[in-house]
Amino acid sequence: MKMITAIIKPFKLDEVREALSGIGVQGITVTEVKGFGRQKGHTELYRGAEYVVDFLPKVRIDAAVDESIVDRVIEAIEASARTGKIGDGKIFVMSIEQVVRIRTGETGKDAL
Amino acid sequence: MLKKFIASLALGVAALGYSGAAFSQAASAPAAEAAPAAAAPATIPAAATPAAAASAAPTPVPNKGDTAWMTVATALVILMTIPGLALFYGGLVRSKNMLSVLMQVMMVFCLIFVLWVVYGYSLAFTASNPFFGTLDKLFLKGMTPDSVAATFSKGVYLPEFTYVAFQGTFAAITTCLIVGAFAERMKFSAVLLFSVLWFTFAYIPISHMVWYWDGPDAITSEKTLETVTAAAGFMWAKGALDFAGGTVVHINAAIAGLVGAFLIGKRVGYGKESMAPHNLPMTMIGASLLWVGWFGFNAGSNLEANGSAALAFLNTTVATAVAALAWSAGEALMRGKASMLGAASGAVAGLVAITPACGYVGIGGGIVIGLAAGLLCLWGVNGLKRLLGADDSLDVFGVHGVGGITGALLTGVFAAPSLGGVGIYNYVTNKGGEWSGIGTQLWIQAQGVFWTIVISGVVAFVAYKIVDLTIGLRVSEEEEREGLDITSHGETAYGK
């Protein structure tokens, strides 16, 4: 079992969600985050006070999936989230030790 | 306990100070009501003039149209403070301090308005000396619904209660303006105590000095003009022109704010951490309410509903619009973008600058004043602010100080009939349009500006020191970091 975490541009969320549904991913968790990589921030100006804001708003998607579909998930996210410009984001893949479905108590792959 | 004792002690000392000085002078000219010039109005003590109660003519009846307008104008000025100024300031601070700003503005408004009817009106608008009046009208003693106050036209009156209320809103909003300078770090109790002290020893004298006179009915000849001038406020007697309070309100508050910003020190993290406004839509709402309310402030200062009020109204629209455009243009040239905050600030700057001028200058003058204010105040919150080095949180001096000084001085220029102004009204010949020269008037205006700065600055300094030594001015660093809403008022603005 793997946890796939993707940081993407916020306006790409709907596209990515649809792409994931298309390959059979049943559920995802979405968080609004902020961060930066190579994409520069912006400057805000309030009367005489200038603020450089490094952080940009991003969206984080977490999806717990079976190993067998990891590559297809990565491909789907990449394709739907890409714009070709700096700041498109990153995908991280991590191992999951245990998964539990709270309603039924199922564990492991049955809980994905 | 100690705080309450100190506060009541301060109030008691103030009352003693004023009454002591007042009783040491014989009551001279009749008080500000416009009773027929020959007889003294019934409200002053009988010892002052003979047969005080026996007026030669029946009590004058106020004009209903003027009274209706002034009632509305008063309500508009209240709107300027709550919620206009409250929201304008509130949106500019960080969310953790929003309620503290709203609270300070609302409470100072309430406090000062009450003190106004208790002793403020009496000390500001009765006759005694060029700097303050008497306590003859303490708690508005002797005033009834039939009491009248003078306007700027002979034989035209307002109910005195209306005049009291209108002037009270000015006293309150002036004191409220100051809180912007030390926002986000001052103790709530300190704000209240300072406000009482400054209102009593700076606002009251300055409003008396600039606006007190016996009224036009008392002027029938050169001799009576001399009498009235001798009994009038210090700056009024010099001939300073301040239609709605460029000196009394804006420069006055701005200096008190600047002194406060210096004395209380910079906010923790100033220059390093983000102190960006948390809700600029609120600031824009506040600025808009200020603009609409300002029609009551400026046009209402005419005290009658006539062409002069109409001129003040028009100038208040035009100068403000020009100032907002000028600030935005300046900002776009300087920084590449015109901001909403800049437009709102520019509008306020224009409103401030046109305040002393609105009933005196023509539209051309109004446009120039707006242009000057928009650009000079833009510098005021940028270059000048850096030069001064104080953390004037909400740019009270940059906008109200620079704008007030600009407007006060330019009034002396554009009131000139040759530049489209109305000139000065002669109550002896009963004709307007007199003018002794721009240089002369400019010098008089400069003196008004100067004395306002000195009195306000000195009183503010002493008042802050007294407050600091008794209560302490500033909250602790932890309280400042956590936010005044939760630490001073036990609540959060947005429930987080």
Q: Which residue's structure tokens are 């714009």?
A: A83
Backbone phi and psi for residue A60, each to the nearest 5 degrees, phi listed first: -110, 130
Query: Which of B339, B340, B387 to probe by mutation at the A interface, max A CB count within 10 Å?
Result: B339
CA dist., res. B236 & res. B383, Å (int): 34
Q: Which residue from A minimizes the CA distance to B378? A: A47
Is B339 in contact with A45 (Cβ distance < 8 A)? yes
Average pLDDT on B454-470 reads 98
Nearest to B274 among A45, A48, A51 (CB): A51
* Contact assessment for residue B216 and residue B427, using Cβ atoms and an 8 Å cutoff: yes
Which one has a higher pLDDT value, A46 or B420? B420
Predicted local confidence at residue B2, as pLDDT: 55
CA dist., res. B351 & res. B319, Å (int): 7
Q: Is A44 on the interface with B (CB under 8 A)?
A: yes
Is A47 in contact with B337 (Cβ distance < 8 A)? no
Nearest to A45 among B274, B335, B386 (CB): B335
Query: Which of B274, B279, B393 to probe by mutation at the A interface, max A CB count within 10 Å?
Result: B274
Q: Is A45 on the interface with B (CB under 8 A)?
A: yes
CA dist., res. A28 & res. A26, Å (int): 7
Distance from CA of B294 to the nearest CA of A (A): 23
Chain segment B373-406, per-residue pLDDT in tens = 999 999 999 999 999 999 999 999 999 999 999 9
Average pLDDT on B437-443 reads 97
Q: What is the mean pLDDT of chain A?
A: 94
Interface A-B, measured as beta-carbon pairs within 8 A, has a size of 26
> pLDDT class for B495, splitting at 50, 70, 90?
confident
| Statement: residue A61 has pLDDT above 90 | yes
Average pLDDT on B170-188 reads 98
Distance from CA of B313 to the nearest CA of A (A): 28
> pLDDT class for B189, splitting at 50, 70, 90?
very high
CA dist., res. B18 & res. B135, Å (int): 8
Nearest to A47 among B274, B337, B341 (CB): B341
Predicted local confidence at residue A26, as pLDDT: 85
CA dist., res. B214 & res. B106, Å (int): 33
Residue B377, number of CB atoms within 10 A of its CB = 33
| Statement: residue B34 has pLDDT above 70 | no
Q: Which residue from A minimizes the CA distance to B386? A: A48
Predicted local confidence at residue B11, as pLDDT: 55
Q: Which of B19-28, B229-238, B453-462 has the lowest mean pLDDT?
A: B19-28
> pLDDT class for B30, splitting at 50, 70, 90?
very low
**The complex's ipTM?**
0.72
Chain segment B101-120, per-residue pLDDT in tens = 999 999 999 999 999 999 99
Q: Which of A47-56, B46-55, B277-286, B381-390 has the lowest mean pLDDT?
A: B46-55
Which one has a higher pLDDT value, B165 or B23? B165
Backbone phi and psi for residue B476, each to the nearest 5 degrees, phi listed first: -70, 165
Is B339 in contact with A51 (Cβ distance < 8 A)? no
Distance from CA of B401 to the nearest CA of A (A): 16
Tell me the three-class secondary structure of B285-352, residue by residue: HHHHHHHHHHHHHHHHCCCCCCHHHHHHHHHHHHHHHHHHHHHHHHHHHHHCCCCHHHHHHHHHHHHH
Predicted local confidence at residue B313, as pLDDT: 98
* Contact assessment for residue A88 and residue A8, using Cβ atoms and an 8 Å cutoff: yes
Distance from CA of A47 to the nearest CA of B (A): 6
Q: Is A48 on the interface with B (CB under 8 A)?
A: yes
Query: Which of A42, A43, A46 to probe by mutation at the B interface, max B CB count within 10 Å?
Result: A46
Distance from CA of B342 to the nearest CA of A (A): 6
Distance from CA of A57 to the nearest CA of B (A): 17
Q: What is the mean pLDDT of chain B?
A: 91
Is A45 in contact with B337 (Cβ distance < 8 A)? yes
| Statement: residue B39 has pLDDT above 80 | no
* Contact assessment for residue B157 and residue B60, using Cβ atoms and an 8 Å cutoff: yes
CA dist., res. B496 & res. B481, Å (int): 15
pLDDT > 70: percent of chain A: 100
Q: Where are the beta strands (DSSP E) in chain A?
A: 2-8, 29-35, 42-46, 49-53, 56-65, 89-95
Query: Which of B381, B384, B391, B399 to probe by mutation at the A interface, max A CB count within 10 Å?
Result: B381
CA dist., res. B317 & res. B59, Å (int): 37
Give the alpha-carbon dihedral of B373, B375, B376, B380, to 10 degrees.
Answer: 110
Predicted local confidence at residue A39, as pLDDT: 83
| Statement: residue B344 has pLDDT above 50 | yes
Q: Is A11 on the interface with B (CB under 8 A)?
A: no
pTM: 0.85
Q: How far is CA B11 from CA A32, B302, B431, B462, B469, in A?
A: 54, 32, 44, 15, 17
Predicted local confidence at residue B9, as pLDDT: 58
Chain segment B52-103, per-residue pLDDT in tens = 444 455 678 999 999 999 999 999 999 999 999 999 999 999 999 999 999 9
